[in-house]
Amino acid sequence: MARPEMTDDEFTRIQRDAIRILFLIDAGASALTDADAVHAPADAAGILRSETRLQKLDFWMRNPDYLADELLDEYQAGLRPNGLDIVRGILESEEPDLRRYPMIRFKFGAFEPLTEPLSLLRSFGFVEIWRAGDALKGVRETTYFLLKAGRQAAADMAARFSVLQWYRERAALVVSVAGDMTATELKERQYKRQEYASTELRAVIPPITARVKTRFESLRKGAAA
C-alpha cells in the first residue's frame, strides 16, 4: 500500500503555518530559568509555555479585527496611546479581509492543531516540544523551547524576505497585547467579545470587522475633537 501523497498546496500551507508559528514562538518565548534548564535542550534559546497560550496568540495573528478591538480597548484604557494609528494601519491595509484565517470555536476556545507545522519546525531543529504530566493536576502541559537555530532562522527569514517581515512585527504586537497574562486569562479576555462568546461550539468564529471599523471611526472623531 502506497503512502498517501501530500499536495503542493497542503505542503506550502504547512510551511507558511510553520513560519507564522516560528515567528510567534520567537516573539513570545521568554528567557530560560534555572528550573527550566532541567528539561531544556542544550541549544534552547527561550521557552513558551502551554499550547493554550500559543493558540490564543495565534487567534489574534489570524484575526486582525479581534486584535484591533483589543488595541482599541487598550487605547481607551490609556494603555496604548498609539492604538488608533495601529488600528488605522490594520484597517486601511484591509488586513481583516486579506489576512484573516478563521478558526473554529472549541470548548476551550479557538483551536487548530499545529502538529504538522511544529513537526516541520522540529525536523529542522528550530523548536523542541516537551510534554510533562502533572500528577496532582491530572493534566499534561506542553512547553515549547525555541532553539538557537530557530531564533537564527526567524531573523534570517525576516531579513531575507520582505513578505515575511509582517509576521515578525505582528507577532511582536500580539505578544505585547497578551503581556504576561496566563493562558486562562487570555482565554477569558477573548471570551469577553460578544461575537466570540456567542459562537456555537465547532462553528467558525465570525469576523467583527464592521463593528471595529465603526468603533474606530467614533474613537477617531473623539480624538480629533
Partner 1 sequence: MSAGGIEEWLSAIAARAEASPEAVEGVLAKHAIRPSIAPPRPRALRIERIAFSGTKIIHGAETPFAFAWDLGPGLWCVASHDNLVGKSTVLHLVLWALRGEPPRGLQADVRSWIRSFAVGMRIDDERLTVEVALPNGEAKGRVRRLNLDGSTTELGTFETARAFSETMAALMMERLGLEPIPYRMKFPGSDDGRTVFAAWPAYAMSLYFGDRHELLLGDNPHGNLPGRMLEMFVGVSWAATSFAAQAAKTQNEQELRNAERRAKEDRAQRLAGLEMLEQELAAARAHLETFADVAEVSRDLDRTVAEIGALSVAATDLAAQEAQATDVVETARRAWTAWRKRLREIEEAQAAQQYFQLLQPRFCPRCHRGIADADYAREHAEHACSVCAGPMPEGDPADFQAELETTRANEAEARQVLAEATTAATDVRARLKAAHDALARARARVAELNAQASRAAERHAAERRVIELQARLADRRQLIDAGRSDPDRAESRILAAAAAETDRRARAAEATLFDALNEQIIDLAKRFGVAAVERARIDRSARLKVWKGGAAAMNYGDLTPGERVRLRLATVIALLRVGQRLGLGRHPGLVLVDSPGSEETREGDVAALLGEINALTTELPHLQVLVASAQPEIVTRAVDPARLRLAGPGETLW
Our CB check for partner 1 shows the closer of 49 and 122 to be 122
Give me 138's grid cell. 491530572
One-letter amino acid at 28 equals G
146, 47 contact by CB (below 8 A): yes
Using CB under 8 A, count the residues that bind partner 1.
26
Select the span of 54-62, 106-114, 157-165, 187-195 touching partner 1 (CB under 8 A): 157-165
CA distance 81 to 72: 10
Our CB check for partner 1 shows the closer of 125 and 182 to be 125
* 108 contact partners, CB below 8 Å, separation of at least 6: 52, 187
Our CB check for partner 1 shows the closer of 108 and 124 to be 124
One-letter amino acid at 137 equals K
> Is residue 123 close enough to count as binding partner 1 by CB under 8 A?
yes
Pattern 38-77, binding to partner 1, x per CB under 8 A? ----------------------------------------
How near is the Cβ of 191 to partner 1 at its closest, in Å?
28
Of 6, 39, 54, 16, residue with least CA distance to 167? 16
CA distance 23 to 150: 9
24, 171 contact by CB (below 8 A): yes
Q: Which of 36, 104, 112, 125 binds partner 1 (CB under 8 A)?
A: 125
Enumerate residues 91-120 that contact partner 1 by CB under 8 A. Answer: 94, 97-99, 119-120
> Is residue 188 close enough to count as binding partner 1 by CB under 8 A?
no
> Is residue 122 close enough to count as binding partner 1 by CB under 8 A?
yes
